[in-house]
Amino acid sequence: MRKIYENATRVIVWPGDSFSSRLASAMVYDLYGTSFMFQGSAYDFDKWFFHERYSPRWLALVQLLKKPYFSRIWVLQEIAVASNVQVLHGGIYIPWEIMFKIMTDLWHPHRRTSLSYTSNPEMRTFHQSSQSDPAHNASIMWLLYTKHGRVPNGERLRLGKLLCLCSKFKSTDARDKIFALVGLAVETTPSLIAIDYEDTPAQVYIKSTRNILSRENDHFDILSNSGIGYRKKTDVADSLSTTLPSWVADWSSQRIGFTLASRGDGTGGYCSSTHTETTIDFLHDVPESPLEILSLKGILIDTIDELGCTLDTERESGEISISDYSTTVNHWYEEAKDITFRKAKNPYPQGNQSRAEALWRTIIGDIVDQIRPAPPEFAQYFSKWVEWGAIIQSAGTRSALEDIMKKNDPQVEAMNSKLSSETIQSGMRDYSNSLAEISVGRKFCVTKDGYMGLVPPGTEEDDLVCIIAGAPTPYLLRRFKHSSSKTFPMELYQLVD
């Protein structure tokens, strides 16, 4: 398939049409043209189309970006290797360069909420997946697009890195989450994994993971997606989640949010033990385990003491009301604050911080827009974000919120005055986006030594905190009953580097 797309004069993408398709395509060109002609600030440009957010053509654009095409794993080859890609939508051809610019512009931290609007002013969408899956997938497509990709020197990526980058994409056949990427990887197929549909999904995942860990250097691209922390419990004995070792990722599942190892790459990311060398070994015929065991060097440093609830903003309908979202986040935050002031060290050991500062840093992973540590002025933005969330929660609905904002309430007037500042608005939005990317789908915790952290939903009290040689973040381990062996619950964010 790779050769077909490489040699094609033009690759036409048809994501599917509807009665509103032409409106969406016209909106794409309108946004693209305006972005080049507009002379004001980026903040002013955000307001340029603000009045459009409930218009038919804006909602048509949102529907275009939600098309299944942009989330299918096999389409990556179409985009990655073709020399000329055009999207055909509503009878209008859109060059991929234009399509990508619009998608990435909308994924900007100050604009991504514009993708969440629905025809109902009270409802939003995309919150359940950190608000950004469609545009995130588009950025991966662009990264792999050989004509304009940002891969250094046009080099092809290793399979482990590709799997981590493309984990949000979907496939009907679970094995295709691996097979669809083999042709894009730098390795040749026979040397890494043979495409064999006689193998079960579990066999494909185990073979590929073992080969990647044995051959590649970026071990934690793979291991950050592994573990039992996000696996759904099932009573089916032969389900994929029960047949995989804990060190093998279930690539067929759709976990919420992003791995911690993928955050902060632009500033060095997290560095708990990145200065040490990772050692990989595989153990066979271990009496207490029917599965092959991964052996890594590390040290146990702590134990989980108390956990909060999972920050879950996913709803069956795919949409969530503004009030529901605000209430859910506020409840999660208040629980985290309660645990912090009962269990965390004071002053906090990291930089001699107060517990309050350590808390606001922890729930965003101490990173904002790829900047780490988060600048100190975000303490103010966090405070205003909390105030604003309380006002939204008390209002209940968007119309009630508008009524509150019109009243002469001193607190609301003070908040209105602060929100008139572009800097405050921008900072609050950055903080909210960072919290969505880092904390949605995770639990807040405090360890027995008084450290705060963010952990997967499957974490349990008394899970062990471990520093693995070479790992960017700490990991959690769970001891087998009646055994010295341990399983991977998942990576952990904790202020210990």
Specify the amino acid at residue 140. Answer: I
Q: What is the pLDDT of residue 309?
A: 96
pTM for the model: 0.84
Strand order in the sheet with 85-89: 11-13, 85-89, 92-95
Per DSSP bridges, beta strands 452-455 and 443-447 are: antiparallel
pLDDT tens digits, 361-409: 999 999 887 788 899 999 999 999 998 888 777 776 666 666 665 666 6
pLDDT tens digits, 123-165: 676 544 444 466 677 778 777 765 544 555 556 678 888 888 8
Q: Which of 329, 328, 330, 362 is nearest to 344 (CA)?
A: 362
Q: What is the pLDDT of residue 27?
A: 93
Where along the chain do its domains lie?
Answer: 1-155, 170-255
Q: Which of 221, 219, 271, 227 is nearest to 247 (CA)?
A: 227
Whole-number percent of the chain with pLDDT over 70: 76
pLDDT tens digits, 447-480: 999 999 999 999 999 999 999 998 888 999 988 6
φ, ψ for residue 491 (rounded to 5)?
Answer: -70, 160
User: Is pLDDT larger for residue 238 or for residue 315?
Assistant: 315
Instruction: Please give the DSSP secondary-structure letter assigned to residue 249.
Output: -
Q: What is the mean pLDDT of residues 51-69?
A: 86
Structure confidence at residue 265 as a pLDDT band (50, 70, 90): low
347 prior amide bond cis, ω within 30: yes
Q: Would you tell me how many other CB atoms lie within 10 Å of the CB of residue 19?
A: 8
Q: CA 45, CA 160: separation in Å to the nearest integer?
A: 38
In the numeric block, which tokens belong to residue 369?
A: 């827009």
Q: CA 78, CA 11: separation in Å to the nearest integer?
A: 7
Q: What is the pLDDT of residue 319?
A: 78
Q: Which of 65, 64, 75, 66 is nearest to 171 (CA)?
A: 75
Instruction: Please give the DSSP secondary-structure letter assigned to residue 84.
Output: -
Q: What is the pLDDT of residue 445?
A: 96
pLDDT > 90? residue 29: yes
Helix ranges (H only) for 145-218 are 159-165, 176-182, 189-192, 201-215
In the numeric block, which tokens belong to residue 178?
A: 């691996």
pLDDT > 70? residue 434: yes
Q: CA 438, CA 230: separation in Å to the nearest integer?
A: 15
Instruction: Please give the DSSP secondary-structure letter assigned to residue 10.
Output: -
Highest mean pLDDT among 35-44, 249-258, 350-359, 418-427: 350-359
pLDDT > 70? residue 34: yes
Q: What is the pLDDT of residue 325?
A: 85
pLDDT > 70? residue 424: yes
What does the mean pLDDT of the chain come to?
80
Structure confidence at residue 260 as a pLDDT band (50, 70, 90): confident
pLDDT > 90? residue 168: no
pLDDT > 90? residue 109: no
Contact in structure between 210 and 282 (CB atoms under 8 Å): yes
Contacts of residue 429, Cβ cutoff 8 Å, sequence gap at least 6: 109, 110, 113
Whole-number percent of the chain with pLDDT over 90: 28
Residue 445: strand pairing partners:
307, 453
User: Is pLDDT larger for residue 185 or for residue 306?
Assistant: 306
Contact in structure between 459 and 231 (CB atoms under 8 Å): no
Buried b (16+ CB within 10 A) or exposed e, 97-134: ebbbbbbebbbebbbbbbbbbbeeeebbbbbbbbbbbb
Q: Would you tell me how many other CB atoms lie within 10 Å of the CB of residue 333?
A: 21
Q: CA 277, CA 297: separation in Å to the nearest integer?
A: 9
